[in-house]
Copies of this chain bind each other. A is one copy, B any other.
């Protein structure tokens, strides 16, 4: 991490350009192929594993499980197991996850809205 001196004192903040800064690893996690879509899906509310799998086109069970584990490890997801048979596992965003999901959804929405314009350029 790098130390940035601001007007009223020194403030610690990460530097995503620095390969050794932990913020770089977190950026890699949340921008990985499936994590982006997991965060976007959970912004609509808590979901079970099977629901997430149906919502996110093309994701495999293994890849989804991996993305969920990573996001849980960073503190973005809460995993709740209900004592049913079979146990029902539900995923939801933590307050920290809410913040990151908002940014990710902002990015995804921007693309979804401008895709006709982008497509026009790509097919030129």
A5 at the interface (CB under 8 A from B): no
Q: What is the CB-to-nearest-CB distance from A70 to chain B, in angstroms, rounded to a whole number?
A: 11
Q: What is the CB-to-nearest-CB distance from A87 to chain B, in angstroms, rounded to a whole number?
A: 24
Copies of this chain assembled into the complex = 2
Inter-chain contact B107/A30, CB cutoff 8 Å: yes
A85 at the interface (CB under 8 A from B): no
Please give the number of chain A residues whose Cβ is less than 8 angstroms from any Cβ of chain B in the complex.
52
A69 at the interface (CB under 8 A from B): no
Choose among B13, B22, B28, B117 the residue that contacts A33 (Cβ–Cβ < 8 A).
B28
- A contact residues vs B (CB 8 Å cutoff): 1, 12-24, 26-28, 30-33, 36-37, 40-41, 55-58, 73-75, 96, 99-100, 103-104, 106-108, 110-119, 121-122
Complex contacts, A36 vs chain B, CB 8 Å: 27, 31
Inter-chain contact A121/B108, CB cutoff 8 Å: no
